[in-house]
């Protein structure tokens, strides 16, 4: 049963979720796609466990976290909820054992060494860890991610590792990107996925699109949308990330 505080969160969250689902459905219809093919990852960075529990009450199952130290208490507190946890932040080498042990997906792998550590540190008693390779689609100096020209070699290095399942590619664009740049960037990521598929690599995931650009991402074939602000609003002032990484 939800607490009084959680119940007070349901109405605004439900309203935000309804608007978000409508945006997703409209974008899918315009692209000739089935909205059921879209997975909504609720980016819960900076959100307390109570808000995540309220979102789960509304039917959301997939949650994305950027920071290990912030995420672990929430994962433990909500362990009985049967949620799917996605690590979407930059993977630090000294955090791979924790990530491999507590998350279901990692979207931000851009080095074979990191993938190897996750593979070696994933337990044999749980399902394989789902991996996406992060691509720096626009070649931004400030962004993490493998360069497009280096992606085929990284795929080849990662796809055969045990205890992980290579699922697809992840990318993000500048918040202020124009509609034309959104279409170009997400289109490049889709083309890279298609090129890998043409080589016989069984990839099925395009993790791209956030609150400001989900329509462009859906148009270009996104399968997983990482949405924070449009669902939860601004992050809680009570949780910050500066002290955890």
- 175-179: long-range contacts (C-beta < 8 A, 24 or more apart)? 175/212, 177/213, 179/216
Across-strand partners of 168? Answer: 132, 205
- Decide if 135 contacts 148 (C-beta within 8 A): yes
10 Å CB burial of residue 2 (0-12, 13-18, 19+) is: middle
How sure is the predictor about 235, in pLDDT bands with cuts at 50, 70 and 90? low
Q: Please identify, in words, the CATH class of the domain defined by 4-230.
A: alpha beta
Give the pLDDT of residue 175: 86
Residue 138 pLDDT exceeds 60: yes
Is 7's pLDDT higher than 90?
A: no
Give burial (CB, 10 Å; 0-12/13-18/19+) of 142.
Answer: exposed
The number of CA neighbours under 13 Å toward the Cβ of 230 is: 21
Percentage of the chain beyond pLDDT 90 is 86
Per-residue model confidence (pLDDT) at position 236: 52
Separation of alpha carbons 153 and 209, rounded Å: 25
Element (H, E) at 215: helix 214-219
- Torsion, Cα 220 164 94 69, to 10 degrees, reads 70
pLDDT at 1: 54
How much of the chain, in percent, has pLDDT values that exceed 70? 93
Nearest to 87 by CA among 76, 70, 78: 70
pLDDT band at 8 (very low <50, low <70, confident <90, very high): confident
pTM of the model: 0.93
Distance CA(227)–CA(244), nearest Å, equals 22
Q: Give tens-digit pLDDT for 46-105.
A: 999 999 999 999 999 999 999 999 999 999 999 999 999 999 999 999 999 999 999 999
**Region 164-175 average pLDDT:** 96
Indicate if the pLDDT at residue 16 is higher than 80.
Answer: yes
Q: How far is CA 135 from the centre of its chain?
A: 13
Question: Quick one: average pLDDT of 229-243?
Answer: 62
Mean confidence (pLDDT) of the chain? 92
């Amino acid at each position: 049963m939800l607490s009084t505080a959680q119940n007070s969160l349901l109405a605004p969250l439900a309203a935000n979720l309804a608007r978000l689902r409508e945006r997703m459905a409209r974008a899918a219809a315009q692209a000739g796609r089935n909205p059921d093919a879209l997975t909504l990852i609720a980016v819960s960075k900076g959100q307390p466990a109570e808000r995540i529990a309220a979102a789960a009450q509304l039917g959301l199952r997939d949650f994305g976290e950027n920071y290990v130290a912030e995420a672990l208490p929430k994962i433990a507190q909500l362990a009985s909820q049967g949620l799917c946890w996605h690590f979407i932040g930059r993977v630090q080498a000294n955090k791979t054992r924790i990530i491999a042990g507590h998350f279901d997906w990692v979207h931000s792998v851009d080095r074979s060494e990191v993938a190897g550590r996750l593979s070696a540190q994933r337990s044999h008693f749980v399902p394989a860890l789902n991996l996406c390779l992060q691509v720096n689609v626009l070649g931004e100096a400030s962004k993490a991610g493998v360069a497009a020209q280096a992606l085929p070699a990284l795929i080849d290095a990662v796809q055969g590792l045990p205890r992980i399942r290579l699922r697809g590619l992840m990318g993000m664009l500048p918040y202020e990107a124009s509609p034309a740049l959104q279409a170009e960037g997400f289109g490049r990521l889709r083309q890279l996925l298609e090129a890998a598929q043409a080589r016989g690599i069984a990839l099925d995931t395009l993790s791209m699109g956030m609150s400001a650009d989900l329509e462009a991402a859906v148009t270009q074939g996104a399968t997983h949308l990482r949405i924070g602000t449009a669902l939860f609003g601004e992050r809680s002032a009570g949780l910050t990330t500066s002290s955890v990484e």
